Structure 1
Amino acid sequence: MAEDIRENAMSGGTPVRLRGLAANGNSISPTLEEVMNAMKIYTYSFTLAAKEEKDLGDLGYGMYLLASPNNAATAIYSVGAYQKCFVSDGGNNLFCDYTDGTKSVVFGRKTTNGNFFLKRGCKLNCVSKE
């Protein structure tokens, strides 16, 4: 049988599972992914070729944080139902929405209440074979 450990004597680290209570008061042990999904926090990681586009489905409305390791830059998007959305990348001019579509990373909706798409443009770090 496992040794009982007092709550304040537990060591730190990166958890695989968390402890908590369900709405009905029962004990639960969700994974980090289950907790993030319940909070509507989703993470994706893609490597896209030049001009490649990925359909991400309907992600709803909200704030989205994108990172581009190749360009060492990030951007935050505020997206509602429409194609045009607010984009800020700290003045790096690498990210845009589909109403612009001319930068290195294009993210957002193509149609009102449509799916979200992510596209790698060909402005930086890219050689087209056309």
Structure 2
Amino acid sequence: MRFHHPPSIEDLQEMAETAFAAIPQELREAVRGTAILVEDLPDEETLEALEIEHPWELTGLYRGTPLTEKSTLDVPSGPDTIFLYREPILVEWIETGEDLFRLVRNVLIHEIGHHFGFSDDEIARLEGEG
């Protein structure tokens, strides 16, 4: 996919949806109900909570309770959400020369991994499978 302008939030949302549709059915079913949102940048509150100084350091974020920590007795506080941050993803894309779709896919898989409470090694293995 070639772009003649910086990819928009809608472009990245479309890539994320395509990447999501391509992950194994079993994984898709397990994260059903998890919202996937693309925003330009993380908000200040998120950056402060994660002790991140520059917004371009965060390409994605899983916000919710990992499955490994959920209980049937929990009162839902809202849908789990995966955020993909457009500007940091585009900066990484430019800096690394990585294929943009593959980068979006890897950020999405990384955040899905957090939903399952996977280790960084397990997430890296999943990212390498595509």
TM-score by length of 1: 0.26
Give the structure with the larger helix fraction: 2
* Larger radius of gyration between Structure 1 and Structure 2: 1
